[in-house]
Amino acid sequence: MSFPLYIAKRYIRSKSSNNAINFITYIAMVGIILGSASLFIVLSGFSGLKDFTLEFTTVIDPDLRAETTVGKSFLFSPTIEQELNAINGIAFYSKIIEERVIGSFDGAKQAFYIKGVDENYTKVNTVDSIVKYGSWLTPKTSQVVVGFDVSSNLSLGVLDYGKRLYLGVPKPGTGQVSSVDQAFNQVEAVNVGIFAVNEKLDASHIFSSIELAQDLLAYEPNQISHIEFKLKEDADEATVKAQIQNVLGNTITVKNKAQLNDALYKMLNTEHLAVYLIFTLVLIIAFFNVVGSLIMMMLDKKKSLNTLFNIGATIKDIRKIFFLQGALMSIVGGVIGLLVSTLLVLFQLYGPENMKVMITSTLAYPVTFQIKNIFIVFVTITVLGIVASKIASVRITKSMVKTS
């Protein structure tokens, strides 16, 4: 053990004869413990809120989605189908048609997106969890499943065979229009279910069979908007994504879940960074106590420092003593804070429901325990502790330790 480290550890363990200095040291230590614990709890809580938000937002997002960059649709040829079936990492894929349409029911009208899906869609996405009333649609029928807000806006119930939902889109072409029939393609549909995912999707989407969407939009049998993929559990996303891109060509772009929700991910990551910086600022303020504590201890140990200097210790050694003392205080305080906050986070995850912090009577505040958050807090505390200790230790000068 080096001489400066040995003295630094003794200074940490021993009490000063001046109670004010002991009190300042305790305050500095408690500040580090509370600061590191608070930072870890906040990061864990925000990670939990992030996961909670993404769980509802991305519940029907596929692992990968291929969509055209030219126009609104592309042709899904037998050659493409054969090559996609040969990719080992793909478990299932579903052909999709998506377009904005106008819905009319019992005099009420609303514009929304129709999402025509084939029979594989239930294998790519878990639809059972989103259908709150009724059931999922039967393939190759005129059935639809509408969003909760769409149902509310149109006063559209489930299995109302007495009244039909009319879906319409403008017909392409030029020239004068003399009737509504000439201006719009229309189909009739029966609502068999109501889904609830999030506010945006509930108010803007309905599901139908791909055949109904093709009929409404006058698409060719192999004309689709995009393809959604579910990957095998052991599949490498980047490799499979590259293989799909190679099959579909440059006019198609392949996106993963993060890219499909890039605006949401950017917002959440920005908020995460902002929260970290705010609490780091609080920690910086707390570390001023460490600087003050070390300077007060230097003044209190002035006679001892003079003795150390007289027996051969250099100014560099004495500075190192207080640098190590401050660094040890920071690391020990940070570790204690992390242990306390880890126990609190784990209790929030696995403790009795009646003792958790609750948002509602049935929903506990979401937290996520992540090793990276421990690493972030530990590195932050260590860096700030080293900087604070360095600031304090350079106050040691020859005139301070040498007496006439």
- Phi then psi for residue 268, to 5 deg, are -65, -40
Section 31-38 average pLDDT: 89
Question: For residue 259, how many other CB atoms are within 10 A of its CB?
Answer: 13
The larger pLDDT score, comparing residue 399 to residue 264, is at: 264
pLDDT at 404: 47
Section 24-37 average pLDDT: 85
pLDDT at 330: 86
The larger pLDDT score, comparing residue 339 to residue 261, is at: 339
The larger pLDDT score, comparing residue 194 to residue 287, is at: 194
User: Which tokens belong to 98?
Assistant: 């998506």
Section 212-228 average pLDDT: 91
User: Which tokens belong to 96?
Assistant: 């999709």
State the alpha helices, DSSP H only, in 301-314.
302-310
Compute the Cα dihedral for 317, 318, 323, 326 and give only its sign. positive
pTM for the model stands at 0.71
Section 34-50 average pLDDT: 88
Q: For 84-107, what is each residue's pLDDT tens digit?
A: 999 999 999 999 999 999 999 988
* Mean pLDDT for the chain overall: 84
Q: For 348-363, what is each residue's pLDDT tens digit?
A: 888 887 788 887 777 7
Section 33-60 average pLDDT: 82
- For the chain, the domains span 3-57+264-401, 64-260
Contact 376, 278 (CB under 8 A): no
The larger pLDDT score, comparing residue 18 to residue 169, is at: 169
Kindly tell me the burial class for residue 135, based on how many C-beta atoms sit within 10 Å of its own C-beta (0-12, 13-18, 19 or more). middle
Contact 89, 240 (CB under 8 A): yes
Q: Which residues pair with 112 in a beta bridge?
A: 101
pLDDT at 377: 92
The larger pLDDT score, comparing residue 289 to residue 174, is at: 289
Q: For 296-335, what is each residue's pLDDT tens digit?
A: 777 777 777 777 767 777 778 777 877 888 888 888 888 9
DSSP state of 364: B
The larger pLDDT score, comparing residue 19 to residue 381, is at: 381
Reported confidence tier of residue 401, pLDDT bands at 50, 70, 90: low
The answer on pLDDT for 241 being more than 90 is yes
DSSP state of 270: H
pLDDT at 51: 80
pLDDT at 254: 92
Share of the chain above pLDDT 70, in %: 89
The answer on pLDDT for 146 being more than 90 is yes
